[in-house]
Every structure is written in structure tokens, then in C-alpha cells.
Amino acid sequence: MARKTSQTQRMVVTIAAWTIGFLIFLPILWTIILSFKTEGDAIKTPLEVLSAPWTTASYAEVQSRSNYAGHFMNSVIISVGSTIIALIIAIPAAWAMAFQPGKRTKDLLMWMLSTKMMPAVGVLIPIYLLFRDFGLLDTRIGLTVIMTLINLPIVIWMLYTYFREIPSEILEASRMDGASLKNEILYVLTPMAVPGIASTMLLNVILAWNEAFWTLQLTTSKAAPLTQFIASYSSPEGLFYAKLSAASTMAIAPILILGWFSQKQLVRGLTFGAVK
């Protein structure tokens, strides 16, 4: 339907979209702006804030108080690590459910999802005790395991929906061509599902990165990710807007940048089988 959308209509849409987009983005933008102001300027009225001089003092302050690099590395290791492990477990499971579906497949999938509805606070003490006994408190391994388990259902579901879009004939062809199951998954299925796997990975890195309950409860310092870093600024005393902004910016910047760079990939994959 490529008829002339009148120029005015296009302008209206442009203005509306930009306005709404800007409003949605404003909280983040404002945080970034405040992080470059002094504490005194940061609590002034918006116009005064904008005209105040810029400074990176808050970043320096935050940097001197916290081991940002350490938290950052922990976040990366835990979120990426848990995603990769989840993928390794989920790919075969999703393969089986997509290409060898049984009567129970759907129920199984739904059961898996329902494990995500378990409220974390309810099981904290048991998990804490278990972690203590296995020496997993404040270890990256421990947290990675938890993140893996939390995200596994979503990973399986997403992969399952991608795999179902792959014609089973292709897998049969590879079987006729003499591929073993391992080769079938390794050389044919996985590469074909790369876009889906990539967006699954992204979504799960984001979810793991932002997870703020288990990360806070089960780590102290050595394995503490950025959620812990931000927790120490969450209600500090006195004038604190600039420092809080700087810390917030530092905590969300990596994932925001990753998200922006890969948004096409992410958006393409975010359908959960909802688009036929």
C-alpha cells in the first residue's frame, strides 16, 4: 500500500514518536546528565541543572570508593557464564521437544515455566544453607548456577520456538547424509538457529545482569556483581544525587550499550513463537 502518505501526516507521526520516545528515555538521559553535575547543582530545578557546569567529579568519587572493575567483571562472568551453561543444557532439550514432540511436551514446557514463578524470598534460607554447606557463598560458580537455573526455562522456551520453525526435513537430510546426532546438532541445527540463539543469549544476559535478589543475598565481595555495587549507593546520606547518578550510569551503561548494539538481533528474536 505505497500510496502517498501526506507529508503533514508524516510530520505528525515523526513529532509524536520523537516526543514519546524522548519521554520514555528521559529518566535514563536525566540520570546521565546529573552524573556530570556537582551534588549541589544536581538538586536544582531542571533548567538550572542544564545550565550548570559539567564535571566528572562524581565518577572519580565513585571510582575511588568502589572496585568497579571487579564488580563489572563479576557481572560479565556470571551473566555470560550462566547463559552459556543454560544454552548447553537447553539446546538438546529444546531439540528433543521441538523435533520429537510427545503428548506431554507442551505440559513439560509449561511446568518448566512455572518453576520461574516460585518467589525467591520464600526459598532464600534453604538456598543459603545449601550454599553454605557446599561452600558456594560468595563464589561466581554458585551464583552462575543459580542464574542458570533461574533462566533455564526461558532459554528452553525461546529455543523451542525457534527450533520449531526449522523444517524437520533439514535434520532428516543431515541424518541421511550420515550425520550423527552430535553432528546434526553441531553442524546443522545450531548454526541454523544462530539468530535465535543469539537473541536468547542477549535476553538472558540482560536478565541475569539485572537480577538483584540472589546476587545481593549470596555474594559479599569476591563474586559481587554490579547490583551489589549499586546497593551501596541506594540510600546514602546527605546530598547524593550526583554520586547516585554516576553509580547508576556505570551500572547500566555496559548492558545498555550491548543492548543498543544488538537491538536488531534482540528484537528479531523476541517473539516467543508469537508471530507466525
Partner 1 sequence: MGQITLTKVRKAFGEAEVIPGIDLQINDGEFVVFVGPSGCGKSTLLRLIAGLEDITSGKIEIDGREATNAAPAERGLAMVFQSYALYPHMSVRKNIAFPLKMAGMSDADQTAKVENAARILNLTNYLDRRPGQLSGGQRQRVAIGRAIVREPAAFLFDEPLSNLDAALRVTMRQEITELHHNLKTTMIYVTHDQVEAMTMADKIVVLQAGRVEQVGSPLELYNEPANLFVAGFIGSPKMNFVTGEHAARHGAATIGVRPEHVDVTPDGIWEGRVILAEHLGSDTFLKVDTRDVGEMTVRVSGEMRLGHGDTVRLQPRPDRIYRFAEDGKALK
Partner 2 sequence: EELTIATVNNGDMIIMQKLSPEWEKATGNKINWVILEENVLRQRVTTDIATKGGQFDVMTIGSYEAPIWGKAGWLLPLDDLGEGYDYPDLIPSVAAGLSADGKLMAVPFYAESSFTMYRKDLFDAAGLTMPEQPTYADIAGFAEKLTDKSKEQYGICLRGKPGWGENMAFLGTLVNTNGGQWFDMDWKPQIESEAWKTAINWYVDAMTKYGPPGAVNNGYNENLSLFQTGKCAIWIDATSSAGRVYDPNQSQVSDKVSFTAAPQATSPEGSAWFWAWSLAIPASSTKAEAAKSFINWATSKDYIKLVGEKDGWVAVPPGTRLSTYALPEYQKAAPFAATVLDAIQSADPAKPTKDPVPYTGIQYVAIPEFQGIGTFVGQQIAAALAGQTTVDAALQASQAYATTEMTRSGYIK
Partner 3 sequence: MATAHSRALARLMVSPAVILLLLWMIVPLGMTIYFSFLRYNLLMPGMESWTGFDNYYYFVTQASFWVALKNTLMLVLGVLCITVIGGILLALLLNQPFFGQGIVRVMVIAPFFVMPTVSALVWKNFFMNPVNGMFAHIAKALGMQPFDFFAQMPLGSIILIVAWSWLPFATLILLTALQSLDSEQMEAAEMDGAGWMSRFYHLTLPHLTRSITVVILIQTIFLLSVFAEILVTTNGGPGNASTNLPYLVYQQSLLSFDVGGGSAGGIIAVILANIVAIFLMRMIGKNLDA
**Under rule CB under 8 A, how many of the chain's residues touch partner 3?**
95
- 115 makes contact, choosing from partner 2, partner 3, partner 1, none, with CB < 5 to 8 Å by partner type, with partner 3
In the complex, the smallest distance separating the C-beta of residue 194 from partner 3, rounded to whole angstroms, is 18
Q: Residue 248, interface with partner 3 (CB under 8 A)?
A: yes
In the complex, the smallest distance separating the C-beta of residue 38 from partner 3, rounded to whole angstroms, is 14
Interface mask toward partner 2 for 51-90; x: CB under 8 A: -------------xxx------------------------
Interface mask toward partner 1 for 162-191; x: CB under 8 A: -----x-xx-xxxxxxxxx--x---xx--x
Interface mask toward partner 3 for 86-125; x: CB under 8 A: ---xx-xx-xxx-xx-x---x-x-x-xxxxxxxxxxxxxx
CA distance 259 to 253: 10
Site for partner 3 in 47-76 (CB under 8 A): none
Closest CA to 150 of 112, 186, 179: 112
Q: Residues 26, 129, 181, 186: which binds partner 2 (CB under 8 A)?
A: 129
CA distance 200 to 193: 10
Closest CA to 20 of 12, 32, 10, 30: 12
Q: Residue 180, interface with partner 3 (CB under 8 A)?
A: no
What is the sign of the dihedral through the CA atoms of 130, 132, 135 and 140? positive
Binding site for partner 1 (CB under 8 A): 1-4, 167, 169-170, 172-180, 183, 187-188, 191-192, 194
